[in-house]
Amino acid sequence: MSTLADRLGEVSTRIEKAASLANRSAEDVTLIVVTKTHPADLVVELLGLGVTNFGENKDQEASAKAKLVAELASQHNPIWHFVGQLQSNKVKSVLGYAEVLHSLDRQSLLDELNKQLSRVEHKGLQVFIELNLTDDPKRGGIDPNHLLNFAEKVLEVENLQLLGVMGVASLGGSAEADFERIATASQQLQKLAPEARFISAGMSADFEQAIEHGATHIRVGTAITGKRE
Ligand SMILES: *Cc1c(COP(=O)(O)O)cnc(C)c1O
C-alpha cells in the first residue's frame, strides 16, 4: 500500500510534468491539500512532509481541526483555505482561521464579509469569486456573464483582496471546456483588476488539465489523502 508521502510525491511529480508541458513553472502552481473528513493528525503529518496549504469545506469541522493542528504542531504555520459553500452565519467563525476563501458566490455573502471585516481590526481575507459553470442557477457561483459587475462590488470592500476566479468542472461534462471558460473569465477580470490574476481550478481527477489551462491554485484531496469515508 502506498504511503501518504508516496502519494504526495506522485502528485508533485504530476504537477511538474503538467506545468512543464504547458511551458509553465511548477512554482506558479500552489497545491492545496483538501483534508475534509480526515483528522488533524493527517494535517500534522502533511505539515511534516512540507505541505503548507490546506483546504476544508465545512466550518464546524474546519474550525475544530485548525485549532487542534495549532496545538499539535505549533512550530508550523498552516494556511487554511475555505473551499466549500459558505453560509453567511458561518462567516465570523471562518474569518477566525481561514486566510483564503475560494467560494465567494453571491452578494449576500459579500455583504456579510463586509460587515464582519469592518467590525474588528482584521488582517483581511483573500478571496476567489466562484463561477457557476452549469446552466442551473441554483448551483453556487456567479454567472460568468455577471462576473465583472460582481467583481466591482468585491473590489470596494476594505480588507478583502480579490485573487481571481474559482471553478469546479461540472460532473459528466467536459472539464476541458469548463477550464477554458474559467480562463476566459480570468482574462476579462484582469482587464478590470490586473492583480486578480489567479485561478483556483482542478481537483484529483483533472488537475493536470486545469494546469494546462492556467490554474494557479489546485485543490487536491483523494489523490493525496486517500478515499474519504
Ligand atoms: C473536496 C473538494 C476538492 C477535492 O476533491 P478531490 O476529488 O478529493 O481531489 C476540491 N475542491 C472542492 C471545492 C472540494 O469540495
pLDDT at residue number 172: 74
pLDDT at residue number 23: 98
The continuous run of DSSP H or E covering 56 comes out as strand 53-56
**Residue 31 forms beta bridges with which residues?**
218
What is the 119 CA–ligand 1 centroid distance (Å)? 32
pLDDT at residue number 128: 98
Q: How far apart are CA 104 and CA 122, in angstroms?
A: 18
CA 171 to chain centre: 18
The yes or no reply on domain 4-225 and CATH 3.20.20.10 is yes
Instruction: For the chain, give the longest Cα–Cα distance.
Output: 50
**Residue 171 forms beta bridges with which residues?**
none
Q: How far apart are CA 179 and CA 55, in angstroms?
A: 20
Structure-block grid coordinates of residue 184: 476566459
Q: What is the pLDDT of residues 13-31, one digit of tens each?
A: 999 999 999 999 999 999 9
CA 74 to chain centre: 24
Residue of the CA atom closest to atom 4 of ligand 1: 221
**Residue 80 forms beta bridges with which residues?**
54, 98
Instruction: Among 8, 30, 34, 206, say which to mutate for ligand 1: greatest number of ligand atoms within 8 Å of CB.
Output: 34
Do the bridges between strand 198-200 and strand 79-82 make them parallel or antiparallel, or are there none, so unpaired?
A: unpaired
Q: Which atom of ligand 1 is nearest to the CA of 83?
A: 13
pLDDT at residue number 1: 77
pLDDT at residue number 30: 98
Given the C-alpha cell 490586473, which residue does it identify? Answer: 194
Q: Which atom of ligand 1 is nearest to the CA of 34?
A: 4
Residues of the chain with pLDDT under 50: none
DSSP summary character for residue 167:
-
Q: Does the beta carbon of 83 lie inside 6 Å of ligand 1? A: yes
Given the C-alpha cell 508521502, which residue does it identify? Answer: 5
Instruction: Among 58, 82, 83, 218, say which to mutate for ligand 1: greatest number of ligand atoms within 8 Å of CB.
Output: 83
DSSP assignments along 22-79, one per residue: TT--GGG-EEEEE-TTS-HHHHHHHHHTT--EEEES-HHHHHHHHHHHHHHTTT---E
